[in-house]
Amino acid sequence: MKPYHRKGYTLFEVVLVTAIIGILFSLAIVTFSPDQKQIKYKNTVESLVQHIAYAQQIAQTENKYVSLIANSELRTYWLQSIPADAGDPENIPLWFNNAFEDIVELSSYTSALGFGDRDTITFTPWGLLESSNDILIELEGNDLNVSGITGFTSIVN
């Protein structure tokens, strides 16, 4: 007669290995997950760049003067259009955080916000910047440079 040898693992061994793999997996998730604050900041910068391009597009297509106006103290900005024939100004809602907002509030994303010396970026009805000087948008971390005349936006480290 041959002696009986059991093949396989005991329930205790399977549970122990599963627990060890679970612990290692949870540590890997915490280590490799991106910082949520950095993701929100990046999305904020991308939204601001898109809002500048949107302002330029509205100026060209609707034949209006369009301005992005910042409030440095409150860290907010909004979009305003004025018809070329100098009619009444109109606020234009902006898409931010999955909703249309009349005023974009950035105080929870950055500690600094400024649109150059006058805190205003204005596009003419031809889609060009009203000022030929570059405008530096001050944010925490990265700054944005809006090129004079063309309105091309680039990130400055």
pLDDT above 90 for 15: yes
pTM over 0.85: no
Q: Which of 88, 95, 100 is nearest to 64 (CA)?
A: 88
* Each residue's pLDDT tens digit, 133-155: 788 777 777 777 888 777 778 77
Task: Provide the pLDDT for residue 54.
Answer: 93
Domain boundaries in the chain?
Answer: 36-156
CB 129 within 8 A of CB 148: yes
Q: Which two tokens stand for residue 70?
A: 């910042």
Under the banding of pLDDT at 50, 70 and 90, the label for residue 1 is low
The hierarchical CATH code for the domain 36-156 is 3.55.40.10
Q: How far apart are CA 153 and CA 148, in angstroms?
A: 10
